Amino acid sequence: MAVVGPGIITAFADNDAGGVATYTTSAATFGYLSLTTLIPITIVLIVTQEIGARIAIVTGKGLGDLIRERFGVRVAVLIFSILFLVNYGVILQNMSGLKSAIQLFGLPYTLFLPLLLFGLSIVIVKANYKKIQQFFFILIFFYAAYIISAYLAQPNWSLAITSIVIPRGEPSFSFLFTSIAVLGTTVTAWGQFFINSYVKDKKLTIHDLSYSVWEVRIGALLTNTFSFFMMVAVIATLFANQIIITDAADAAMAMRPLAGNLAGSLFGAGLLIAGLLGLAIVPLSTAYAFSEFFGYQGTLNDDFKQSKLFYIFYLIQIVLGFVVVMIPSFSLFKITLIADFCNGLMLPVLFYFLYRIANNEELLGNQTNSRFMNFLLIGSGLIITFGTITGLLGKIFGW
Amino acid sequence: MRYLSELLHKQVITTSKQSLGYLSDCVFVASETPYITKIQIQTKHNQHILYPVQAVKAINGTIVVEQCLEAVLSENEVFLVGNVLDKQVIDIKGKNIVRVNDIVIQDKPELIVSGIDIGVLGITRWFGLEKQVRFITRFCKLPLTDRLLPWSEIQPLELTRGKVVLNREEDKLKAIEPEDLADYLEKTTIHNALKILGLVTDETASEVIQNLHITYQTQIVHRMSPHNLARIITTADPDEAVDLLQALSHDKREETLQLLTTAKRDELTYLLSFTHTQIGELMTTEFLTFQPTMSIKKVIEKIRRESIGFDNLAYGYVLNTKQQLIGVFSMHELLMQSPDTLIMKCMTQNVVVTYLSTPRSVALKRMVKYRLRALPVIDEHRKILGIVTLDDMIEPLVTGEV
């Protein structure tokens, strides 16, 4: 049980507010066909997270540490700058997700958003690793809201379950792009850094390796099971009634008259939790990466004074995000597009580093990547690059 | 002194101008004195070859080596880039402090690793932006200083195990006072002392040298290049600068003086000309003079403008049109007046003075008797030559150098 944590938490955080939005849009637009993306996504998530966890356990170092030590300071500064920007985009996504979730419940966000953020910051700064992990697990528990929400929507369960393996409907180009976008919000740049840092901070040893690998696999499976329920809830209501939505809050709102107030509210609660989890973990991944790249002390077990820069980095991102989200004319749609695009561009670069590090015998000894893993890593890297570039071109030229 | 960032990736050519590739790493001995023994060259075919450091003829601009046999790694030798650069620095308690951002290399007389740079400026250097960042931070008044750790702080044994470990705790590294550093330097070898002085800022180095025992001070300045001396002398107090110059041979003193700015050189040459007397030796030019008709407001403005960088300013001296000393006022007296009062109204006309020929003991007794912190030194025409301060007078008595 001691190894439980990193895999599950990172995987669930991959379904942050931005993730929920992409899954919801995909499900509302393509219906049961969208469920066929779940298995490939789970596999890619398992492979990339497993490689990250393995590197962290065997070397005792984070991805930031390794990139700095193997590729030098110039590469480190470059990668960190991009990561900071990409993560900032993701933070904005989560923060506005949280904001719309608060509004869904008819609460004034000018009061509740700062309150929630303040509470969150207190937990991250004051609590130690163990307490924070418990906090994460409490948040994750509330993802169960999606299961109830799906149940209340009264879907065709047998059709839904068989759709996971049997494609229902004509796969089109726009479906392909949406699927790649879904992959891009599940397998993320920050997730890649976070799993490494978080495993390192947990101080797991080589004896924990096999258990930890299983924990990562279970985490990815669980996450995508919840994604399944979330998508099913959307399909049974919005897709069935041909309602087009652009974000998760819209979906929750539209669900109320179709599946009842409770289903819509639970869906909204899921979004709230997803936003909170994202806002805890994404800025943490930047803060960890900063500590690793530039060698400062950075662990959740330290108090504020001991890991000052680490915590300051966390808080700065929350404040920066909050300031922008409070601007009334702020457009989430544009930010989401840009953030997803940058994330998509950064992932192949990170996969390159993962490939180089995970195949280095000097670092990993006999724990280097298998050929199958390399195939999947390179393959998904190529697919994401292709999807990102064509996706952007499509947005520009209106394909 | 060189930084690794300046040398790495430089082109390496043979003495017959044939290109070998690029400098990709250096090999050094992991010991108390980390001599660089080999350089690693990355050839155009992406192979790595080692050359002994003896083959290196020049490191300015391009690196020039003599064609010779390839060297092999011997026991206890480690790589600078491979084992030290970018690595995490851990203090003796295992706490992560920072990363090795750059490496300081002493290039004369031999190539020796003299320390590591753990500051932010070390990062900017790799982007060729050090000067710009320094300029911006100075402009914004942000105190961004170099953070260098001398080699003596690092445990050589751990390097061979792939770790950069310090032999003390992080907290103890914090700004060591110049006085303490001076004490420490006096216990170590001259060789080490010079290395450490090369790592600190000019201001610190000059303060440290001023705090050294006279015999040790002499040894140190004898070993320093006129260039370094000139830099240190520029930041030192005038009377201390004169002491340092006096410790040098005639030729070296002249050479050093030539490297200074004209104003500084004139000031020091002037002071040096009085060093044959007991008082002249201690005299400094850090004083200000005023005309009797200046208002208090004007006096204060002049002090603000012209005493920047002064070590101390206890009194102002008032001169008549013939440049003769006619009055003195203390800073306290100055502060008590209203801004429009003329300085001649509040100055003391009975000035206690000393001459170059006055014995030190007499001058000191005078200072004690009248409770003065400084005495003006005047010539037979009552022209002021300089001042002697109480602390400079007392110092030789305390340190027993009389």
Residue of B nearest to A67 (CA): B86
Q: Is A114 on the interface with B (CB under 8 A)?
A: no
User: How many contiguous H segments (helices) and E segments (strands) does chain A have?
Assistant: 17, 0
Residue of B nearest to A77 (CA): B123
- Residue A287's contacts (CB-CB under 8 Å, 6 or more residues apart) are A298, A310, A311, A313, A314, A317
Q: Is B126 on the interface with A (CB under 8 A)?
A: yes
Give me the percent of chain B exceeding a pLDDT of 70. Answer: 86
Give the C-alpha separation, A187 to A201, whole Å. 21
The model scores a pTM over 0.80: no
Read off the pLDDT of residues A276-315 as tens digits, 9 standing for 90 and up: 989 988 999 999 888 888 877 777 777 777 778 888 889 9
Collect all residues of chain B within an 8 Å Cβ-Cβ radius of residue A295: 88-89, 96-99, 118
Collect all residues of chain A within an 8 Å Cβ-Cβ radius of residue B87: 69
Shortest Cα distance, chain A CAs vs residue B207, angstroms: 31
Read off the pLDDT of residues B186-217 as tens digits, 9 standing for 90 and up: 666 676 677 677 666 777 777 777 777 777 77
Residue from B88, B102, B103 whose CB has the most chain A CBs within 10 Å, to mutate: B88
Q: Is B30 on the interface with A (CB under 8 A)?
A: no
Containing A356, the helix (H) or strand (E) segment is helix A332-358
Q: Which of A74, A294, A298 sits opposite B99 (nearest CB)?
A: A294
Q: Are B87 and A296 within 8 A, CB to CB?
A: no
Q: Are B98 and A296 within 8 A, CB to CB?
A: yes
When pLDDT is cut at 50, 70 and 90, the band that residue B303 belongs to is very high
Residue A22 near residue A230, CB atoms below 8 Å: no
Q: Are B86 and A72 within 8 A, CB to CB?
A: yes
Q: Across residues A348-365, what is the average pLDDT?
A: 85
Residue A309, strand partner residues: none
Give the C-alpha separation, A75 to B243, whole Å. 49
Q: Is A68 on the interface with B (CB under 8 A)?
A: yes
Q: Which of residues 275-294 of A touch B (CB under 8 A)?
A: 291, 294
Give the C-alpha separation, A219 to A216, whole Å. 5
Residue of A nearest to B120 (CA): A294
User: What are the percentages of helix, strand and coil residues in chain A, rounded to 5?
Assistant: 85, 0, 15
**Token pair for A71:** 């590729």
pLDDT at A199 over 80: yes
Q: Which of B89, B126, B127 sits opposite A295 (nearest CB)?
A: B89
Q: Which of residues 33-72 of B touch A (CB under 8 A)?
A: none
CA atoms within 13 A of residue B83's CA, in its CB half-sphere: 20
What backbone phi and psi angles, to 5 degrees, belong to B59? Answer: -125, 5
CA atoms within 13 A of residue B37's CA, in its CB half-sphere: 17
**Token pair for A41:** 């996504």
Q: Are B97 and A294 within 8 A, CB to CB?
A: no
pLDDT at A44 over 80: yes
Shortest Cα distance, chain A CAs vs residue B123, angstroms: 7
When pLDDT is cut at 50, 70 and 90, the band that residue B174 belongs to is very low
Give the C-alpha separation, B156 to B20, whole Å. 31
Q: Are A68 and B98 within 8 A, CB to CB?
A: no
A60 conformational bin, left if phi > 0, alpha if psi -120 to 50, beta if neither: left
Collect all residues of chain B within an 8 Å Cβ-Cβ radius of residue A294: 98-99, 123
Instruction: Give the pLDDT of residue A131.
Output: 87
pLDDT at B230 over 60: yes
Q: Is A65 on the interface with B (CB under 8 A)?
A: yes
When comparing pLDDT for B47 and A333, which is higher? Answer: B47
Residue A398 CB: number of other CB atoms within 10 A?
Answer: 5
Least confident range of A108-122, B38-52, B149-163, B345-359: B149-163
- Length of chain B, please? 402
pLDDT at A238 over 90: no
Shortest Cα distance, chain B CAs vs residue A73, angstroms: 7
Q: Is the dihedral of CA B365, B366, B372, B377 positive or negative?
A: negative
pLDDT at B231 over 50: yes
Collect all residues of chain B within an 8 Å Cβ-Cβ radius of residue A296: 96-98
Q: Is the dihedral of CA B247, B250, B252, B257 positive or negative?
A: positive
Give the C-alpha separation, A84 to A290, whole Å. 9
CA-based end-to-end distance of chain B: 37
Most confident of A209-213, A339-343, B371-375: B371-375
Residue B374 near residue B387, CB atoms below 8 Å: yes
Residue of B nearest to A69 (CA): B86
Shortest Cα distance, chain B CAs vs residue A3, angstroms: 24
Shortest Cα distance, chain B CAs vs residue A297, angstroms: 5
Q: Is the dihedral of CA B254, B259, B262, B263 positive or negative?
A: negative
**Token pair for B82:** 């491979």
> Of the candidates A43, A267, A30, which has an alpha carbon nearest to the alpha carbon of residue A163?
A30
B88 conformational bin, left if phi > 0, alpha if psi -120 to 50, beta if neither: beta
CA A25 to chain centre: 16
Q: Are B87 and A69 within 8 A, CB to CB?
A: yes
Instruction: Give the pLDDT of residue A364.
Output: 78
Shortest Cα distance, chain B CAs vs residue A247, angstroms: 42
Q: Is A330 on the interface with B (CB under 8 A)?
A: no
Query: 3-state SS of chain B?
Result: CEEHHHHCCCEEEECCCCEEEEEEEEEEECCCCCEEEEEEEECCCCCEEEEEHHHEEECCCCEEECCCCCCCCCCCEEEHHHHCCCCEEECCCCCEEEECCEEEEECCCCCEEEEEECCHHHHHHHCCCHHHHHHHHHHCCCCCCCCEEEHHHECHHHHCCCCEEECCCHHHHCCCCHHHHHHHHHHCCHHHHHHHHHHCCHHHHHHHHHHCCHHHHHHHHHHCCHHHHHHHHHHCCHHHHHHHHHCCCHHHHHHHHHCCCHHHHHHHHHHHCCCCCHHHHHCECCCCEECCCCEHHHHHHHHHHHCCCCCCCCEEEEECCCCEEEEEEEHHHHHCCCCCCEHHHHCECCCCCEECCCCHHHHHHHHHHHCCCEEEEECCCCEEEEEEEHHHHHHHHHHCCC
Q: Is B86 on the interface with A (CB under 8 A)?
A: yes
Give the C-alpha separation, A116 to A112, whole Å. 6
Shortest Cα distance, chain B CAs vs residue A294, angstroms: 6
Quote the mean pLDDT of chain B: 81
When pLDDT is cut at 50, 70 and 90, the band that residue A106 belongs to is confident
> Of the candidates B58, B2, B46, B55, which has an alpha carbon nearest to the alpha carbon of residue B21?
B46
Q: Is A74 on the interface with B (CB under 8 A)?
A: yes
Residue B391 CB: number of other CB atoms within 10 A?
Answer: 13
Size of interface A-B (CB pairs under 8 A): 36
Residue A134, strand partner residues: none
Q: Which of A68, A294, A297 sits opposite B95 (nearest CB)?
A: A297
Scan for tokens 């200072």, then name that residue.
Answer: B367
**Token pair for B68:** 């010779």
Read off the pLDDT of residues A261-280 as tens digits, 9 standing for 90 and up: 777 788 888 888 888 989 98
Q: Are B96 and A296 within 8 A, CB to CB?
A: yes
Q: Are A76 and B89 within 8 A, CB to CB?
A: no
**Token pair for B210:** 């001023």
- Residue A399's contacts (CB-CB under 8 Å, 6 or more residues apart) are A173, A393
| ipTM over cut 0.90 | no
Residue from B96, B116, B118, B170 whose CB has the most chain A CBs within 10 Å, to mutate: B96
Q: Across residues A327-336, what is the average pLDDT?
A: 71
Q: What is the 8-class DSSP label of residue A247?
A: S
Collect all residues of chain B within an 8 Å Cβ-Cβ radius of residue A76: 86
Q: Is A79 on the interface with B (CB under 8 A)?
A: no
Q: Across residues B98-116, what is the average pLDDT?
A: 80
Residue from B83, B99, B147 whose CB has the most chain A CBs within 10 Å, to mutate: B99
> Of the candidates A296, A274, A276, which has an alpha carbon nearest to the alpha carbon of residue A287?
A296
> Of the candidates B246, B335, B235, B323, which has an alpha carbon nearest to the alpha carbon of residue B283?
B246
3-state secondary structure of A145: helix
Residue from A73, A288, A299, A309 whose CB has the most chain B CBs within 10 Å, to mutate: A73
Shortest Cα distance, chain B CAs vs residue A293, angstroms: 8
When comparing pLDDT for B256 and B210, which is higher? Answer: B256
Instruction: Give the pLDDT of residue A220.
Output: 92
Q: Are A73 and B86 within 8 A, CB to CB?
A: yes
Give me the percent of chain A exceeding a pLDDT of 70. Answer: 97
Q: Are A65 and B88 within 8 A, CB to CB?
A: yes
Distances (CA, A) of A164 to A42, A167, A229, A347, A390: 12, 7, 12, 26, 26
**Token pair for B151:** 């080699």
Burial class from Cβ neighbours inside 10 Å (0-12, 13-18, 19+) for residue A143 reads: buried
Q: Across residues B116-123, what is the average pLDDT?
A: 80
